[in-house]
Amino acid sequence: MPSASLIPDRQLTFSPELAETIGLEEAVLLQALGNHLNSAEDWTPLSLTKLQKTLSFWSLDHIATLIAKLVVLGIIHQQPSRDPNVVLLSTAADMAGDPQGSTAISAPTTYHGHPDWQPSDDLIELLVLNHGIPRTFIDRAQASFMLSHGSEAETQFRQHILARWRDTQRQEAKQPSALAFEITKPAPFDRNWTPSQDALDILAQADIDLLFAESVRAEFILYWSERGGPPKEVNSRFVEHVRRRWLKHTSQMYYSTEPTRIPSNWQPDTSVYETLRLAGIEQADAQALLPEFVMYWLDSNEVHTSWNSKFLQHVKRQCHGPGYGEQHGGKTGRRGAGGGHRSKDRSLSDDLTDTSWAN
């Protein structure tokens, strides 16, 4: 069974020699117009919408622009039309039969031959607002505008500007401007690498000490160097690295997890006294136990991660006897004040070896 043809049924033809002379698009349009124009003696009203059905790959504005180019080349002739969707075209060289008395076009006449004609402000405003064409571009393109007979001057001017603008856009799309996106060469990533000023500004706005950021720069460089090179967003990664290290640094300053020896001038946090108060122990009683607590652990030379917790436990054990309850309205009191813990009930050996108060 024969395979389906890859060539569509509806085809457009054009002359290669004519395309070399007037352009490919103009040659295709001229071939399509030949199927719609009447005899050479008549003006033919032609609907742009109807013509677009044949040339569906072009917009109405582009078809109108190509028609204007053929008019300027003198290949076809055009008359003004009240309907913007209809063009009056003819291929006759002598327009004696023109019902509107127009003369034939033998050669295009530049608009400089009509010194009194200028595009209206409304037309220029329309081109600027509706098509986004800069006014400076319109002024430059106006110098190459050629005004010909056969259609309204402003229609010709509008088609001329639109054609020039689209040609310029196509050229810029093929050759994008190097100034559109200026890409600076990144700094080499070695031991002398430094973050960008934007990255430093972000760190400063986050109240991060820039001297601290400088102190962790070397380890950041080492980290990524051992992984084959810097990441694409190296400055953003540096900001993240500094933020993480800064958070860890500030947390260690206030909540250290390193075991340390007790300083001779150590004082518990206020939260310790608040916790003891909830347990019925007055701050004055806890402060009375502080000197012997510090002296004991200074002599022991031991290290602990939290001296606050150690002191909290010590005070609760010392203030757990019945004697403290008798002095403070029945609340738990300091151990050793009751009968079972009186000095006369303990031996000297027990007193010298008892270290339970320091636990």
pLDDT at res. 6: 54
Which residue shows structure tokens 């402000």?
A: 121
Say how far apart CA 87 and CA 71 lie, in whole Å: 12
318 Cβ contact partners less than 8 Å away, ≥ 6 residues apart? 289, 334, 335, 336, 357
- Per-residue pLDDT, 252: 65
pLDDT in tens, 14-73: 777 777 777 888 888 888 887 777 554 577 888 888 888 888 888 888 888 888 888 777
Which residue type sits at 62?
A: H
Q: Does residue 212 carry a pLDDT above 80?
A: yes
Task: Look at residue 316 in the predicted model and tell me its pLDDT.
Answer: 87
Split at pLDDT 50, 70, 90, the class of 240 is very high
Q: What is the pTM of this model?
A: 0.29
Predicted pLDDT of residue 80: 77
pLDDT of residue 241: 92
Residue found by looking up tokens 């947390």 in the block: 251
Q: What is the pLDDT of residues 114-146, one digit of tens each?
A: 556 778 887 888 788 777 788 888 888 887 776
What's the pLDDT at 238? Answer: 93
pLDDT score of 331 more than 70: no
Per-residue pLDDT at 147 exceeds 80: no
Q: Among 153, 149, 159, which Cα is nearest to 117's? A: 153
CB-side neighbour CA atoms (13 Å) of 88: 17
CB 272 within 8 A of CB 308: yes
Q: Pick the residue with more confidence: 116 or 219? A: 219
Question: At residue 1, does pLDDT exceed 60?
Answer: no
Q: Where are the domains of the chain?
A: 16-174, 197-254, 270-358
Q: What is the pLDDT of residue 186?
A: 64
